[in-house]
């Protein structure tokens, strides 16, 4: 389940995330959803939460690809959301 909480510092984050414009560059294609239940079982479906204690991952958005742990590209469809290649964070969001 990907319950994502944005935090203000890298020290408080589990993952540094960089948003990229191209799907071919992204490690993960992400579709934002409003339901926690829908997000269950798919790293590509992100339900944003405000509570750190509820979140499955705390992320800090960064602008530099080289300092990011994960490159994501937002998509509008749940059907295309998911990993584009093997990644060490698969199943850990």
pTM: 0.93
11 touches 50 (CB < 8 A): no
Name the token pair of 88: 């060490």
pLDDT digits (tens, 9 = 90+) for 37-81: 887 778 999 999 999 999 999 999 999 999 999 999 999 999 999
**Tokens 């590509």 -> residue:** 44
**CB-neighbour burial class of residue 87 (10 A; exposed 0-12, middle 13-18, buried 19+):** middle
> Which pLDDT band, with edges at 50, 70 and 90, does 92 fall under?
very high
Measured distance CA(15)–CA(37) in Å, rounded:
22
Task: Give the 3-state secondary structure of residue 26.
Answer: coil
């Amino acid at each position: 389940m990907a319950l994502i909480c944005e935090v203000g510092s890298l020290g408080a984050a589990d993952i540094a995330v960089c948003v990229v414009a191209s799907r071919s560059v992204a490690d993960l294609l992400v579709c934002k959803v409003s339901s926690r239940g829908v997000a269950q079982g798919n790293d590509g479906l992100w339900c944003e939460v405000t509570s750190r204690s509820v979140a499955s991952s705390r992320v800090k958005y960064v602008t530099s690809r080289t300092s990011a742990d994960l490159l994501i590209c937002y998509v509008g469809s749940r059907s295309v959301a998911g990993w584009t290649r093997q990644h060490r964070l698969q199943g850990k969001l």
